[in-house]
Homo-oligomer: A and B are copies of this chain.
Amino acid sequence: MNQELLDKNEREFLSEYDVNIYDRPSVTNDIIIFTTGDRIEENSRKVPKKGMQILLIKRDDYPYKGKWAIPGGFVKNDESLEDGALRKLKEETGIDNVYTEQLYTFGEVDRDPRTRVISIGNIALISKEDIRFGDYKDRKESKWFWVEKNLIDSKKNETNTINKYILKFESEDEEIKFNYEIIEKIERTIFRKKENSYKTLNESNYELAFDHYKIIDYAVDRIRNKIEYTPIALNLLPRLFTVKELQNVYEAIMGREILNFRRKMEDMIIETDEKIEGKPFRPAKVFKFNENWEHNF
């Protein structure tokens, strides 16, 4: 970048569009860090069910002081969006070299009460085993939250479909719980327009900052959609895993039972020589990702 020319050109550049040089939005790069954890199983003979978890941070300043938020930070002028997301992830979890993808850019005018802030949402899928919390971790209070999204009602009429969901958050230590109701309205026109409205369901003091419920909701939908035709769910487990563990991950994400799971996965994974023994049932083969797996997409 030619620093000398920057000022003059930049001003021309902006005046070309009738935009005041100082009248720019701020841009944050936010990242939803997903993992899975074992839910406590009352029956000790069973393999524990998995649950989907995200990392949230407690805001220590206004606005939304004390509310929970997705980790993120301002886009730095000398850092690409992807590098910024990876840096943030590293700061929060000590993890490098994992799956991330850009989710969507959220830019409603009033999503931040102070000034115009555009948020570029990202998702990261990590395995808990890889986490090594570093120095940065302690700057702010953070917790893992169980996340569930369940359809509880669906109505159709001639022109549209209305689905009602509950989006549930619960901290790992069970101290914090809050829910959102999501009304999804899909117009069955040629545009297939979808519009969601959100409502906090409980009167607890706990809730998400900003429009982060929208971002998380969007992220859950993206992952649900994407695990059906890509291997991204494997990022949520250690490198080696059993079929049942993988199934539990899929069922946790989808929020429903999946039949014939083993058969559906058989091309995507390869068995190794290892076995899991010492359980009160037949030892399970241990699998890994099949790097020669192909899928038409």
| Stretch of A166-174, A185-193, A259-267 lying at the B interface | A185-193
State which of B10, B115, B159, B291 has its C-beta within 8 Å of the C-beta of A189: B291
CB distance B19 to A76 under 8 Å? yes
CB distance B81 to A105 under 8 Å? yes
Residues from chain B with a CB closer than 8 A to the CB of A77 are: 23-25, 109, 116
Residues from chain B with a CB closer than 8 A to the CB of A26 are: 14, 24
A5, A76, A107, A289: most-surrounded residue (chain B CB, <10 A): A107
CB distance A225 to B14 under 8 Å? no
Within A41-79, which residues are at the interface with B (CB < 8 Å)? Answer: 61-62, 73-79
The majority secondary structure among interface residues of chain A is: loop
User: Within 8 Å of chain B (Cβ to Cβ): is A235?
Assistant: yes
State which of B62, B79, B289 has its C-beta within 8 Å of the C-beta of A109: B79
User: Within 8 Å of chain B (Cβ to Cβ): is A80?
Assistant: yes
Within A71-114, which residues are at the interface with B (CB < 8 Å)? Answer: 73-81, 98-99, 102, 104-105, 107-110, 113-114
Give the size category of A's interface with B: 35 or more
* Interface 0/1 of A191-205, CB less than 8 Å to B: 110000000000000
CB distance A16 to B61 under 8 Å? yes
State which of B81, B115, B158, B191 has its C-beta within 8 Å of the C-beta of A13: B115
* Interface 0/1 of A214-240, CB less than 8 Å to B: 000000000001000011101100000
CB distance A108 to B120 under 8 Å? no
Smallest beta-carbon distance A191→chain B, Å: 5
Closest B residue to A159 using CB positions: B291
User: Within 8 Å of chain B (Cβ to Cβ): is A246?
Assistant: no
A27 to B14, CA, bound (A): 11
Given A1-B114, A25-B27 in contact, is the A291-B188 Cβ separation under 8 Å?
A: yes
User: Within 8 Å of chain B (Cβ to Cβ): is A22?
Assistant: yes
Closest B residue to A225 using CB positions: B297
CB distance A118 to B27 under 8 Å? yes
CB distance A9 to B114 under 8 Å? yes
A115 to B3, CA, bound (A): 9
Chain A residues packing against B (C-beta within 8 Å): 1-2, 5-6, 9-10, 12-14, 16-17, 19, 22-27, 61-62, 73-81, 98-99, 102, 104-105, 107-110, 113-116, 118, 120, 158-159, 188-192, 225, 230-232, 234-235, 289, 291-294, 297
Q: List 10 A-B contacts (CB under 8 A).
A: A17-B74, A24-B25, A24-B26, A27-B118, A77-B116, A80-B109, A102-B105, A107-B120, A158-B291, A189-B289
